[in-house]
Amino acid sequence: MFGDLLQGTKNEAEEKLILEFWTSLPKVNESAIVIEAGKLSYKRKLPTKGIGLIDSCLLLACKSNKMSLWTLDKKLLEEYRNS
């Protein structure tokens, strides 16, 4: 997910800030998350709700690790709350 943030960086200072923040956070080991998120996406018909694979990965990682989801994406937040 931080790769998505890094993709949109505007300069090296912003990149450095994002990487520093990433290193300070706890990590989850989700080696098969893309496959599992694809299955979740299919079962819940997430693409029809405007929720793509990366957001499905986020949803699954948060739910399976009992983590909060911080997002401004109303569709994703609603799916998180209803799952």
Q: Which residue has the tokens 């949803």?
A: 59
Other C-beta atoms within 10 Å of 52: how many? 13
Question: Do 25 and 55 belong together in one domain?
Answer: no
Question: Do 63 and 78 belong together in one domain?
Answer: yes
Question: Do 75 and 47 belong together in one domain?
Answer: yes
Q: What is the model's pLDDT at position 13?
A: 98
Rounded to an integer, what distance in angstroms lies between the CA atom of residue 20 and that of residue 44? 35
Containing structural domain, residue 10: 1-30
* Among 44, 54, 57, 51, residue whose Cα is nearest residue 76: 51
Q: What is the model's pLDDT at position 24?
A: 95
Q: What is the model's pLDDT at position 55?
A: 95
Rounded to an integer, what distance in angstroms lies between the CA atom of residue 19 and that of residue 13? 10
Work out how many domains the chain is built from and give that number: 2
Low-confidence ranges of the chain (pLDDT < 50): none
Question: Do 39 and 78 belong together in one domain?
Answer: yes
Q: What is the model's pLDDT at position 74?
A: 96
